[in-house]
Amino acid sequence: MSGVTTTPGACYQVLMRRRVKRTEPKRKRVRRSPDAARDHILQAAIVVLAKRGPAAAGLKHVAREAGVSHALVTHYFGTYDQLVDAAVFESMRAMRTALLQSLLTTENPTPEAIAKLYLDAGLDGHYGRLLGWALFTEHERRDRIAEQLQPDMKLVALGTQKMLARRTDPPMSRSDTEGMIVALWSMVLGYAAGSDFFWTAFGRKPGPRRDAVLREIVGSLARAMFPEPPEA
């Protein structure tokens, strides 16, 4: 053909491009039910919001993490604020569920064991970090979230009180039990929100090894504050 220069190298490059195009696998589209799709997006939102913080993230970051379109995120959650609300509430629900399951299955419900259960629940996945942001940041939705959790928190307090009734001397009152829970959650969520910063400030690498240090400290505090009754 006039005006066209063809070399063996150019032919080889064209052939390879065609071969790559033919053999490149197509990305499979994941089909989910509406409930599964909503939950998938919500879990992606929890990851993104815990990592970046709600002020630095947006719907596009959640959509990218979930591998879905921006329009699908807004379809299920509407505004970004509504998505943040849903992510915070889901984080609290997940932590509450994990804590209740642990309280019901623990074989030795000492004050130390229960304190460590609270710590484990708060440090589970991304939930504690996101919940720490929700509690320590002033916003108008915080009181509404707290009101929604009242029935569950009362159940947690009742279960904790009953479990400790035989392990403390004198038995803990409902008021003291609630005060202990507030103190534990404040400690746990404060650590979840600020542990990376403080360990780094000390020149230490955050991670499970440092978490274990706090776990033992919390256990020691529980032993000192709530001594077990002497054996008969």
pLDDT in single tens digits along all 232 residues of the chain: 444 455 555 544 543 444 444 444 444 556 788 889 999 999 999 999 888 888 888 899 999 999 999 999 999 999 998 898 888 888 888 887 887 787 778 777 777 888 888 788 777 767 777 877 777 766 666 777 778 778 878 888 887 888 777 777 777 888 888 888 888 888 887 887 788 889 999 999 988 888 888 888 888 887 777 666 666 5
pLDDT of amino acid 71: 93
What's the pLDDT at 112?
A: 80
pLDDT for 24 equals 42
- pLDDT of 73: 93
- Whose CA is closest to 156, among 102, 111, 108, 113? 102
With vertex at residue 112, the alpha carbon angle to CA 131 and CA 220, rounded to the nearest 5 degrees, is 95
Q: CATH second-level architecture of 30-78?
A: Orthogonal Bundle (1.10)
Q: What is the pTM of this model?
A: 0.68
Tokens matching residue 150: 């009242």
Domain ranges within the chain, ordered by starting residue: 30-78, 80-225
Two tokens at 167?
Answer: 């392990």
Q: Are 75 and 98 in contact (CB under 8 A)?
A: no
CB atoms within 10 A of CB 66: 19
The residues, ordered by sequence, that sit 6+ positions from 12 with a Cβ below 8 Å of its Cβ are: none
